[in-house]
Amino acid sequence: MPKMHTEAPGRRALLEAAIRLAANGRCINSLGLRELAREAGLNPNTFYRHFTSMEEMGLVMIEECAEQMHGPLRALRQSVAASLPLQPGEWGPQQAERGRQVSEATVKMYFDHALANQQVLMVGLRELHGPSPRLRAAVQTIMQRQSRELAEDMASLGLLPKELPAAVLLSLASMISRNLFYQALDLIGAPEQYPQLHRSAVDQIVMLCTGAAFLQATGGLDAPAGPPD
């Protein structure tokens, strides 16, 4: 797991040991202090120099994982879109193709990150459905933040019709983000299928976006009644 900032070696050793242990089918809160310290090669007392509880350590782990993708994904979308100048006019085939190329680059970065951080992704999935309300909420908050950022980028980069209601855009971004998360898990289980899974993920994004644009143009799209997540 790449370092996000300069930190005490013991803290990093504990986080990485927790990821290894939890990736084998455990929830963070189920880890024992002595078990974790032994895996990290540290004295058990070292834990409390850095964390107050296993749950706090889990929150740090989840947030660090999210931050690794937060800036790079947005920068990539903006860079690819900037390299494909948009001609003025109504949303149409040119904008759709531009959206496809942005999607291809985004999915590739997401998938590559998932393969390089398989254990962290598995821990995130487990905590999303795990017994700790705080850790579940942390994962859900991160997924919602990713959806909001994707919705903002799709609007600002002209990847969808500007007339699309904000609530619909956010709902669409939420579906894309959630699908991508589970498609990355499929990839971890079958990395040899990378080309097919990448193409399928991009096709799904394009179909969702094209469908939303068509419904907006024909007046058949209603804003969601509630929040997307």
Q: What is the pLDDT of residues 90-113, one digit of tens each?
A: 667 777 888 899 999 999 999 999
- Phi, psi angles (nearest 5°) of residue 124: -60, -45
Q: Is 145 within a domain?
A: yes
**Given this model, what pLDDT does residue 12 score?**
93
Residue 137's domain comprises 58-218
Residue 69 resides in a domain? yes
Coil, strand or helix: which one is 3? Answer: coil
Helix 93-116 × helix 118-128 angle, to 10°: 100
Per-residue pLDDT, 97? 85
Burial zone of 106 (CB within 10 Å; 0-12 exposed, 13-18 middle, 19+ buried): buried
- Residue 15 belongs to some domain of the structure: no
Residue 25 lies in a domain: no
H or E element at residue 214: helix 194-218
Residue 102 lies in a domain: yes
57 contacts 29 by C-beta, under 8 angstroms: no
> Backbone dihedral region of 90: left (phi > 0), alpha (psi from -120 to 50 degrees) or beta?
beta
Residue 158: predicted pLDDT = 82
Answer positive or negative: Cα dihedral of 219, 175, 204, 88: positive
Calculate the alpha carbon distances from 32 to 94, 128, 168, 224 in Å: 56, 20, 44, 44
Tell which residue, 75, 96, 214, has the closest CA to residue 149.
Answer: 75
Whether 41 is covered by a domain: the verdict is no
Does 133 map to a domain?
Answer: yes
DSSP state of 147: H
Looking at residue 1, its pLDDT comes to 44
CATH code, domain carrying 74: 1.10.357.10
| pLDDT < 50 regions, the chain | 1-5, 228
Rounded CA-CA distance 45/38 in Å is 11
Residues 100, 211: Cα–Cα separation, whole Å: 14
Name which of 57, 56, 229 is nearest 143 in CA terms. Answer: 229
pLDDT of residue 4: 42
Count of structural domains within the chain: 1
Return the C-alpha torsion angle 124, 59, 5, 52, nearest 10.
-140
